[in-house]
Amino acid sequence: MTFEWIQVPYALATLFIILNYGMLMTAVVRKLAARVGGRPGIPVWQNYIDLVKNFALRSKINHGVMYYLGPVFRLTGGIGLILFVPTIYGSSWAQNFSFSGDLILALYFIFFGTLGMALGAGESGHPHSAIGVSRGLAQVTAAELPMALAVFAIALQYQTLSITGIVEAQQGGLFHWTLFTNPLAVFAAMFAYVGTMMRSPFDVVLAPQEIPIGPPTEYHSAYLALMQTNRVIFPIAKTIIYMNIFFGGATTWAEFAVKVFLLYMIPAVIGVVHPRFRVEQSIRFFLKWGLPVGILAILTV
Amino acid sequence: MIRHVVVALLVALLGIAFWTLTAGYLPDAELNRTAAYYAAHAQDEVGAPNIVTGIIVTWRGLDTLGEVTVLFLTSAVIALVLTQSKTPAGATGAGFLPSGELLTTGTRMIVPLIVLLGAYVIMNGHLTPGGGFQGGAILASGALLTLLAEPTRRFGHSVIARVESASGLTYVLVGLAGMMIAGGFLDNGILPLGRFGAMLSAGAIPLISVLIGLKVGAEFSSILESLHETEDA
Amino acid sequence: MVSPVLILAIGLGTAFALGLLSQARKSFLFLVTLAALALMAAISLGWVVALATGAAMTAEIHTAGVAPPFAINLRVGLAEAALLATISLAGLFSALSMREPLLRLGRGAMAVLLVLVMAISGLVMTRDLFNLFVFIELIAIATAGVVLLSQDQRAICAGFKYLVVSQIIAILMLIGIIFTYHATGSLNIDDIVATPVAFHGAALAIFLLLIALVVELKPFPANGWALDIYTSAHPGFSALFSAATGSAALFAVDKVATYAGDAWLPLLTGIGLLSFVGSNIVALRQENDRRLLGYSSVGQLGLVLAVIGQRDVLGDAYLYIAGGLILSHAVAKAGLFWMSAIVRGRTLTDWAAIRARAPMVLAFATFIAMLVGLPPFPGFYAKWDLAQALVAAGRLPILSLILLGVLIESAYLFRWFGYAIKREAVEKGLLANTVDCGITLAAVAGGWALGWIWGVAHGEFNVLATLPVLAVVAFLLLEPLPAKVKNVLAIAALLGWFAMVVGGYDPMRLIFAAVMIPGGAVILIASFTETGRRIGFYPSAMAMYAGLALLLEATTFFEFFAAWEIMTLGSYFLILRGRMSEPHALSYMLFSLGGAFALLAGFAIASGGVQPFPLDQLGTVAADLAPYVFVLLAVGFMTKTAAMGLHIWLPGAHAEAETDVSPMVSGILLKAGLFGLFLMLMQLGRQSLWGVDLTYVLVWIGAISAFLGAVLAIFQEDAKRLLAYSSISQMGYALFGIALMNHLGWLMAMMFVINHYVYKSMLFLAVGGVYKRTHTKLMYKMGGLITLMPFTFVSVLVGIIAMSGVPPLSGFGGRWIFYNAIMDAGLRLPLILIFMAGPIGFLYLFRLIHTIFLGQLKDPHRKLKEAPAWLVAPQMIFVAFLIGFAVLPGMALQKVDGYIGSIFGDQPLVWSGRAIASEFGYWNPVAIMVVIIVVFVSVFLILLAKNHDAQKVKQFNIVFSAERPYRPETTHFAWNFFAPYRKAMGFLETPVVSTFWGGVTDGINGVGDFTRRFYNGNGQSYAIHVVLFVVAVYLIAMGGVA
Amino acid sequence: MAQIALATGFVLILAGLYGALTNRDILRMIVAFTIADTGVNIVLVAVGYLPGRTAPILDAAVPVAEAGQRIIDPVPQALVLTAIVIGLGITALMLAYAYRLFRLRHSLDISTFTELKW
Amino acid sequence: MSVLMLGLAIALALSMVAAAAVALITRSTVIAVLAAGLVSLFASIFFVVLAAPDVAMTEAAIGSGLTTFLFFFTMGRIRREGGK
């Protein structure tokens, strides 16, 4: 696991692919959601327009150092998560910097972005963002629990903590995926996946009506640009982790695109039909349903 | 009422304990070791015909010293207790009944006899039954009688105190002398044993008896004095 | 050497001679009395020195020049000489303390006092039964006399009650003596032992004599008559009454017990223990200080009676133990009574007045430490040897009762000490005059001297002779210096000690030493902020550090236990300095003492009475005893790491302590518990009791502590309490790690030792700095301080990143090792709690930083300055260390990893260059740091390029739902920050543990309050109690047989 | 003879104790204690009594040679002397206390002096 | 041991116990004190019977004499100061 300089351009390339893929995919999903509602929906390249617009805007406002660094933390969290996890199994250049840490690093690094975002939103002084942060943290911690149990179950099953090792063990046909070898763990993990994707029923954190988009309320222009790029790539980074661990990883970019899209659609589909949970409802939901499944996953590994 | 019942029960239980003592008690046929020793050595070691005085003054001299201190303490404490509480001004002692004729003449006649008897008992303490304590008590009863006869008469309180202290101090010095010269503290060997049965015999026993007698007499009278004195001071 | 009889002769001679001197010149009479007492003291001290150094043999004094059985003889051995010295010195100082009434009442009172001291000395020396009776009667009458000297009108009633019971005692004793004489034929104690007992009623005779002497000792159920004397008599006399008469009566019981034979010893032990535990429980509800001292002295007499009852088991250590207990009780009780003469008010809280004089506070602390038996005083050595001997003889229930009694006694004594330090003093509460202060300080000097003597006599380890404790004494003497100078000295002392000892430690002990000693020095830098002299801070701090230093140095059980107690004592005084810390310091002390006594019992069982028992032989304990030793030691150590169930003292103690004390106590002191657990598990390994694997139980306790500690921390409004609960949670992690009993588990625990010290001290100092500026700890009262206190913000930010385990910093290292550790550890369920504790840990940390530094800045705080420089400096050192440690964990962990490997015999981690690989995964801290920094800087540059000239705007410049906020308070979201969590998991907050412990303490207090009602003040009922006690003991002991 | 003396002694002691513990008047308590003291003195002397022997005085009637067989045990007598005087000492002291207690509260009932409790 | 002495002893014993009973039961304290003095007097006679002359003298002088006097003295003081 040594570091060669060639890995830097490789990583940038992977990043570029994922960034564009994210832009397009999220726009397509929003368009699908609109079509279901009978609306024409946004054009597929809408995200690029927003990005250019936000970068073009000139902003004079800065609420202080942490406010300024909030989006930087957020985006670093997103990009870092992508870099620390191997994207395509088998390809020499799409391994990114996965040698430096592994499953545990990925798990804990998710909080890095959340922490940055929370600090920035806190400093902005806006009560809505503070409320949003409190709800977000409360809900995410409850949601992360089944995930942690599932990951541990997987680690016990494959007797390794390195993601490439897990993906390798799942190669060779559909029925080698963890989905089939350890369905309980996957089921528990999907609880967490749906919970942290900020889609109803768990989107009280940035509930548009109550607290306009929650934490990033005070952010605009370049700050918002960074955040939006993160909003695009962060879900994909998480999906990559789920894909690698539970759904057999991706050997080619095409397989990668299809799997990510399908996984991304799951919370979208669930979100469309469910009303919004209050935070304590979602906490109770995770503790009442997510936790037992996670415990079963651990006990039966 | 329950207090009576409880106490009665307790006393009954104590009674059982004491009953087991008396039932199983049979007096010794022979003198035990200590008594036999005292009987045998009364003459050559102590030289006092009255073995009890011998025991009291020499063999168990420390007890008697303690004993005298008890009385000294009692008189000092009573003086303390009563001096702290002067009688309230209203209730003066003026209401004494004039002592009757019989009492005054009787006292004038008997007191010298009592004093004589006391002196005799003290001096012959080691020969006949009696000794320092008994003599002292008799002297005190003499003083008591005079007090009853003329309640207003004041004894020289400082005189009594001085006698008491002097005799106490000499008693201790005699004890120390015993330690220097003779075998141990309060040993009567400091003076020759003399002829068995004579007045001035048995070493320091007569001297110590006199000291005890004076001290006990002084202490009892000082107790009576302080009880009397605070009455209408 | 002059003959000891002179003591009696001088006493009596002067008493009689006073009559001859003129009554007028009272001061001259008083001087004569003092001279006589001084002479008696000199003689007895001369004998003590002669006998101790072997210059003289035990003196046998024959009165009347005749061999003992036929005359009274006196004996002065080492024990008698020591008691004589105590009695005459107590008499001398009491005379000084009672100078005013003595001068007022003249020579009569002086004579009575002289005779009292002479009689007590006689009681100690005499070897004759009847002479014993005469001296006891002399004491009774003299006591009745002196009791009258007190101004208190109630003294007369007390005196009368005393006389009534003395009559009953006299009756019993006379019957006992005469029937013993009838049975054995002689009155001399030594002679009786020689000849066999013929008369079958002799057993009853011995019983009567013994029970009379025991009643003279004021045993618990039947001691109403003596307690009134303690309450109403002049304190000078009460000192003499409890110190001298109590000790002499104990010695008399000991003399009679020798000839009475071993059949009576269980009876004495029973009465003694009942009296010790009973009077301590009843003393819990006392408000009058002198009556409390009365109960305490009756309790201590009961304890020594119990020790006399165990003389058959104690062997040659008997004199050392009984002497230690009697002398420390005598000196401490006399000192406390003399001090009560200074304090005007009579309730416990009135003693707050002694704070006006620092030496008096030292005296008060010394006396309490002597009574409870804390190092370096004789009581400590005595209790240790007692425990060893009792366990060697298999008498564990007696030991546990004694320890329970001592714990209850320490409860009311330390509560009293807390009142003295914390309650506000009524003005003119102190009648301090030189004479009374002088006597008290003489008693203190006596106490410390006794501590030294008992230390030397202990042979194995003299606590006072060790360098760290000498440093503490030095700092006691340096008190007048200004705080800053003392601080420099303290830091130098710590670093000097570390430099001196660092060579000889194994890697694990090295890390603990590094955390405790130089770590303490770094925190002490923060103490430069304090001005003035800070009386009492430095000796207490150095005592804690001395305890820690000795803990690491300890090689035998005794050294370890002594260090443990010194550390507890020092930390108690430190915590007590906090403004509102009185109840919490008390609960801390009680838990710590409870834990220490568990350790004492555990060590005693492990060593089985063998002295000195090396620490590394702990493993050689017999297999059937090992689980019990494991449980006791684990409980003892877990009281210090505040595991769930034994944790209720921690939030209060750490939150209410001073700014620079909180980090010391939280960052360093908790590690002592971990160090103990390491040692124990290293030696004992896995033990199972009743089929349950104890290490598995520890795992569960660790997991529960981690989870509940974190959950409770979320709901705290007070910043320091939040950090305190987080300490419980982190210690839970460490305990979990140790209890895994595998290589990586221990490595994780070591990581937590280092990490927790660094970021907990940093956070406490930061919150302390904020408190110093905003004068409040409540988080919702703060907000928006990031702009005013940037350095403190940075330190808290780095602290919470490290603590929550977010990758770049060292916290992640701990989590990574944790994951690898649990991979091959067989257990599953406790992990769930640990997994839940992780994210919840992140919640309360964010709450801390958000409510204090982010959000709206309050108006009153607009003009606050940064925290004092001296507080920020150590935080910056910690930040630097954290970042360094994050990048190069090998710096500290590699050697420890090797050492732990040598214990477990495996080497799971492979340290290759900067990366660490384990069997399951790999971790390259440098790579992680580099990647994050590169990405962070690049994104930052993008934002900077686009938005570099943004104008700084205040938080207030916001609009929400079309309104501009008019007051910052309304828009700072901080109070009940995690309301949803409280709704979902609020049930976990129910104070189950504190209600349990509260129930226990209220129960004992209730029992105390109920039983003390039966002292109804009526002299006659007290006499009935005595007779009832005698009859009851008769029925129990003799079963009605003669 | 000795048994009779012992029995009376013990009866007196028990009576004295009973009187002391039930009578509420202080003076009556002291009287009861004096009776108990007398009882103790009788017991003490009774233990020393050997049937058929005379007082321990060595005079014409009891020559020194055969003293050992003729006299009773002198030691208890010595003890009794001290015991009597001690008894008197304590009784005198109690009377003085009784007087002071009376001056304090103008009553001699023991149950009125109970402010020192609990 | 002559029957006379035994008879005397029993008589003394019974009278002593009777006097003690009187002392404890009577209403007035004066009679109680006198009864106690009587008990002490009988005791001194009993001592003579028990061949203890020294003790008899002491008991007589101190026991019955002085103690009784002390009692009357104190009771007198108390009565004179408004006692019962």
Chain C: nearest CA to D66, how far in angstroms? 20
Q: What mean pLDDT is predicted for residues C682-704?
A: 90
Read off the DSSP letter of residue C645.
Answer: T
Among C residues 155-184, those touching chain B with beta carbons less than 8 Å apart: 175, 179, 182
Among C residues 49-108, those touching chain B with beta carbons less than 8 Å apart: 61-66, 69-72, 105, 108
Q: What mean pLDDT is predicted for residues A116-124?
A: 84
pLDDT of residue C542: 93
* Higher per-residue pLDDT: C5 or B202: C5
Which residues of chain E are under the pLDDT cut of 70?
Answer: 1, 83-84
pLDDT of residue A133: 84
Q: What mean pLDDT is predicted for residues C966-981?
A: 82
- Chain D contact for C1011 (CB, 8 A cutoff): no
Contact E24 D15 (CB under 8 A): yes
DSSP string, B165-187: HHHHHHHHHHHHHHHHTSSSBT-
Q: What mean pLDDT is predicted for residues B46-52?
A: 85
- Chain A contact for C55 (CB, 8 A cutoff): no
* Higher per-residue pLDDT: C99 or B99: C99
Into how many domains does chain E fold? 1
pLDDT of residue C702: 93
Give me the residue from D14, D71, D97 closest to B81, CB to CB. D97
| ipTM for the predicted complex | 0.87
Q: Give all chains having 3 or more CB-to-CB distances under 8 Å with chain A.
A: C
Q: Is D47 inside any structural domain?
A: yes
Confidence class for position C1042, pLDDT limits 50, 70, 90: very low
pLDDT of residue A213: 65
Confidence class for position A1, pLDDT limits 50, 70, 90: low
Residue for token pair 């301590």: C280
Chain D partners of E81 at a C-beta cutoff of 8 Å?
102-103
Contact C958 A126 (CB under 8 A): yes
Chain B: nearest CA to D28, how far in angstroms? 15
Tokens for C528, please give them. 């430069």
User: Which residue range(s) make up the domain with D81?
Assistant: 2-51+69-112
Residue to substitute from E58, E66, E69, E81, interface D, most D β-carbons within 10 A: E58
% of chain C with per-residue pLDDT over 70: 98
Burial of A219 (0-12, 13-18, 19+ CB in 10 A): buried
Chain B: nearest CA to E80, how far in angstroms? 7
Give me the residue from D21, D68, D86 closest to B39, CB to CB. D68
Query: What pLDDT, in 10s, does the model give residues C80-129?
Result: 999 999 999 999 999 999 998 888 888 888 999 999 999 999 999 999 99
**Which residue in chain B is spatially nearest to D102 when comparing CA positions?**
B85
Which residues 6+ apart lie within 8 Å of D87 measured at CB? C170, D34, D37, D40, D41
Query: What pLDDT, in 10s, does the model give residues C277-325?
Result: 999 999 998 899 999 999 999 999 999 999 999 988 888 889 999 999 9
Contact D89 B84 (CB under 8 A): no
Confidence class for position C685, pLDDT limits 50, 70, 90: confident
pTM of the model: 0.92
Which residues 6+ apart lie within 8 Å of B109 measured at CB? none
Q: Give all chains having 3 or more CB-to-CB distances under 8 Å with chain E.
A: B, D
pLDDT of residue C735: 93
Among C residues 124-153, those touching chain B with beta carbons less than 8 Å apart: 126, 128, 130-131, 134-135, 137-138, 141-142, 144-145, 148-149
Return left, alpha or beta for C913; rule: phi > 0 is left, psi -120 to 50 is alpha, else beta.
left
Query: What pLDDT, in 10s, does the model give residues C924-935?
Result: 888 888 888 999
Which residues 6+ apart lie within 8 Å of C832 measured at CB? A149, A291, A294, A295, A298
C524: nearest Cα among C483, C568, C565, C566: C483
Into how many domains does chain D fold? 1
Question: Measuring CA to CA, how many Å separate C1013 from each of C281, C286, C297, C299?
Answer: 13, 11, 19, 18
Tokens for A108, please give them. 């804990």
What value does the mean pLDDT of chain C take? 89
Chain D: nearest CA to C589, how far in angstroms? 27
C261: nearest Cα among C342, C197, C173, C171: C197
- Chain D contact for B76 (CB, 8 A cutoff): no
Give per-residue burial for A23-50: e unless 16+ CB within 10 Å, then b.
bbbbbbbbbebeeeeeeebbeeebbeeb
What whole-number distance in Å separates Cα of residue C468 and Cα of residue C471?
Answer: 5
pLDDT of residue C763: 93
Query: Which span out of A215-224, B130-139, C941-950 was modeled with the highest average pLDDT?
Result: B130-139
pLDDT of residue E64: 86
pLDDT of residue C197: 59
Contact E74 D1 (CB under 8 A): no
Residue for token pair 């250590």: C317
Q: Is B13 inside any structural domain?
A: no
Q: Which amino acid, C113? A: L
pLDDT of residue D100: 84
pLDDT of residue C597: 95
Query: What pLDDT, in 10s, does the model give residues C495-519?
Result: 999 999 988 888 899 999 999 999 9
Confidence class for position A208, pLDDT limits 50, 70, 90: low
Give me the residue from B17, B67, B169 closest to C134, CB to CB. B67
pLDDT of residue B26: 81
Query: What pLDDT, in 10s, does the model give residues C581-609?
Result: 999 999 999 999 999 999 999 999 999 88
pLDDT at C1040 > cutoff 50: no
Contact C807 A112 (CB under 8 A): yes
Contact A133 C846 (CB under 8 A): yes
pLDDT at C334 > cutoff 60: yes
C197-200: long-range contacts, CB 8 A cutoff, minimum separation 24? C199/B24, C200/B24, C200/C1042
DSSP string, C511-531: HHHHHHHHHHHHHHHGGGG--
- Chain B contact for E61 (CB, 8 A cutoff): yes
What whole-number distance in Å separates Cα of residue C393 and Cα of residue C609?
Answer: 8
Confidence class for position B94, pLDDT limits 50, 70, 90: very low
Which CATH number is D75's domain given? 1.10.287.3510
Q: Is B34 inside any structural domain?
A: no
Into how many domains does chain B fold? 1
What value does the mean pLDDT of chain A take? 86
Of B89-93, C168-172, C226-230, give the lowest mean pLDDT range.
Answer: B89-93
Give me the residue from C159, C167, C182 closest to D33, CB to CB. C167
Q: Which amino acid, C327? A: L
What value does the mean pLDDT of chain B take? 83
pLDDT of residue C131: 92
Q: What mean pLDDT is predicted for residues A30-42?
A: 88
pLDDT at A87 > cutoff 50: yes
Q: Is D61 inside any structural domain?
A: no
What whole-number distance in Å separates Cα of residue C234 and Cα of residue A215?
Answer: 73
pLDDT of residue B84: 65
Tokens for C719, please give them. 């910043």
Among B residues 107-146, those touching chain D with beta carbons less than 8 Å apart: 127-129, 131, 133
Chain A partners of C843 at a C-beta cutoff of 8 Å?
137-138, 141
Chain A partners of C953 at a C-beta cutoff of 8 Å?
61-63
Chain D partners of E83 at a C-beta cutoff of 8 Å?
102, 106, 108
Q: Is B134 inside any structural domain?
A: yes
Residue to substitute from D10, D42, D50, D58, interface B, most B β-carbons within 10 A: D58
* Higher per-residue pLDDT: C806 or C406: C406
What whole-number distance in Å separates Cα of residue C274 and Cα of residue C218?
Answer: 12
User: Which residue range(s) make up the domain with B211?
Assistant: 48-92+100-232
Contact B179 C3 (CB under 8 A): yes
Q: What mean pLDDT is predicted for residues B54-68?
A: 88
**Which residue in chain C is spatially nearest to B42 when comparing CA positions?**
C70
Confidence class for position D14, pLDDT limits 50, 70, 90: very high
User: Which residue range(s) make up the domain with E75?
Assistant: 3-12+21-80
What whole-number distance in Å separates Cα of residue C8 and Cα of residue C371?
Answer: 30
Give me the residue from D15, D45, D85 closest to E52, CB to CB. D45
- 3-state SS, residue C75: strand
For chain C, what are the domain ranges?
Answer: 466-908
Chain B partners of D96 at a C-beta cutoff of 8 Å?
77-78, 81-82, 227
**Which residue in chain B is spatially nearest to D4 when comparing CA positions?**
B22
Chain C: nearest CA to B150, how far in angstroms? 27
Residue to substitute from C70, C124, C153, interface B, most B β-carbons within 10 A: C70
